[in-house]
Amino acid sequence: MKKPYSGIIWNPIELFSHQELTSEMIPELLVHQLNRAKIGSPFYRKKLVDLKIPDKRTILDLYATLPFTDKSELLADQQQFPPFGSNLPVRESKIQRINRTSGTTSEPLLLILTSKDVMNTYECGARCFYASGLRRHHTVIHCMNYCMWAGGYTDHGSLEHLGAAVIPFGVGNSRLLIETILRIRPQALHATPSYLTKLQEVLNQDFGLAPIELGLQLGLFGGEAGIQDSNFRRQIEKIWGFKAMNANYGSAEVLSMFGAECHERAGLHFMGQGVLYPTLIDMTSAKDIPITSGAVGELVLTNLVKQAQPLIRYRTHDLIEILSTDRCLCGRGSFRFKVIGRNDDMIIIKGINVFPTGIQKIINENLDYLNGQYVILINKIDPIDRFVVRAEVRPEMSEPRDFRSKLQSAFVAHLAVRPEIELIAEGTLPRTENKTKRLQRIL
């Protein structure tokens, strides 16, 4: 069984800076991967038909000129060449696992891993969970959906790879979940942040217990934005009594997990060292921009060693801000970042770019009166001229004076748009154990 590098770091590769990896390790892996893809993958043979792959001295300059890969191409390819598409540079008999994306915005994409791909996924997953404080002596209850999603079976594997004791739970049956926590008393929980609200209701109604009585010490979260917001985090840490960590940022298509925060909580560390080549592109021009402190752009990823479905210059559509490229106090050399939002989630309201995470931040600054459950309603089709924030209020509280107009002013001040505010009773909005869909085009 693998031992961690230190009490703080899982793998010594985490010590290297992005700069060091880019100059020393990435060029050679990139040349190999491009060659492999061009030879073995009909999908990339077509995309890279005119490409002469140079040696490792000039590969990085060439890289910025390569065509992007987008999810829509992968979907079209799987429809044309069912079931797995034409990006499979390995024999089908090497396939070890078949997952799928959630398919909320499109047909689900089938995701293929070989056993080597599985091991690399576990390795990066273990780095993330370890950074967020999970240790070998912990017991963790794993509450992600096991039915085909990478978060279920695959993240369970990462938790085990780290050496923790894992209770496979999945989603649904919150009563049994609470009974199991009360019986086994795990130290850690791995879930989506939005599941906490549902769990708190069941705890309260069926057990007459407060969340803190479960005795959890560590909440590992992923799959959704939310936990990076310090107001939301402060609130759930108070209610649950655990340390709430942003432990699981990733992209199902590229690598299940490659971002997590360490105990310094100074943003997500990039954890895909040796496995992924991350670059940034400008949101408007789609030109490459350097990864430097303060840079904002869309994250573009290339798999460096993936055998099945290797992706090259894959547009994640996640907009990130580089918080720092300096070595962190924890010792890790990787850059730290935060996720601003998805550029395909971005909405334009009367000419203003608005991200759902910006709206969430304002909701979370008003958790004295609001309970944190909300939806955003906008027009079915562009242009958007109606923008409604519908939020649940705490039942025990009476409405603070001028609450609605103060909330509207906060929106104007931070996002330059003025929503209609609808305040509704606690428990009105549907709860989910999976990812919550906050933005609804129904007006």
Site residues for a second copy, 184-213, by CB under 8 A, read 184-185
Would you state the structure tokens that stand for residue 256, as one six-digit string? Answer: 């299940």
What order of strands is seen across the sheet that includes strand 387-393? 420-425, 387-393, 370-378, 439-441
Among 85, 89, 152, 250, binds a second copy (CB under 8 A): 152
Q: Residue 77 and residue 88: Cα distance in Å, rounded?
A: 11
Nearer to a second copy (CB atom), residue 82 or residue 294:
82
Nearer to a second copy (CB atom), residue 184 or residue 412:
184
Q: How far is the CB of 13 from a second copy (least distance, A)?
A: 23
Among 4, 168, 241, 356, binds a second copy (CB under 8 A): 168
Told to check if 7 binds a second copy by CB under 8 A, we report no
DSSP string, 42-87: HHHHHHTTT-----TTTHHHHHTTSPPB-HHHHHHHHHHSTTT-S-
Q: How far is the CB of 222 from a second copy (least distance, A)?
A: 18
Would you state the structure tokens that stand for residue 440, as one six-digit string? Answer: 């609804």
Residues 6+ apart with CB under 8 A from 93: none
Number of residues that bind a second copy (CB under 8 A): 37
**Partners of residue 324 on adjacent β-strands:** 336
Would you state the structure tokens that stand for residue 292, as one six-digit string? Answer: 């430097």
Site residues for a second copy, 209-238, by CB under 8 A, read none
Q: How far is the CB of 253 from a second copy (least distance, A)?
A: 17
| DSSP helix/strand/coil, 195 | helix
In this structure, what are the phi and psi dihedrals at residue 186, rounded to the nearest 5 degrees?
Answer: -65, 155
Nearer to a second copy (CB atom), residue 184 or residue 397:
184
* In contact, 111 and 99? CB cutoff 8 Å: yes
Q: How far is the CB of 440 from a second copy (least distance, A)?
A: 23
* In contact, 156 and 205? CB cutoff 8 Å: no
* In contact, 336 and 268? CB cutoff 8 Å: yes
Site residues for a second copy, 112-131, by CB under 8 A, read 115, 118
Q: How far is the CB of 138 from a second copy (least distance, A)?
A: 9
Among 73, 160, 201, 288, binds a second copy (CB under 8 A): 160
Amino acid present at 279? T
Site residues for a second copy, 56-115, by CB under 8 A, read 82-83, 92-93, 95-99, 110, 115
Told to check if 369 binds a second copy by CB under 8 A, we report no
* In contact, 197 and 173? CB cutoff 8 Å: no
Told to check if 432 binds a second copy by CB under 8 A, we report no
Applying CB under 8 A, the residues found at the interface with a second copy are 1, 82-83, 92-93, 95-99, 110, 115, 118, 136-137, 139, 146-148, 152-153, 156, 160, 163, 165-170, 172-173, 176, 180, 183-185
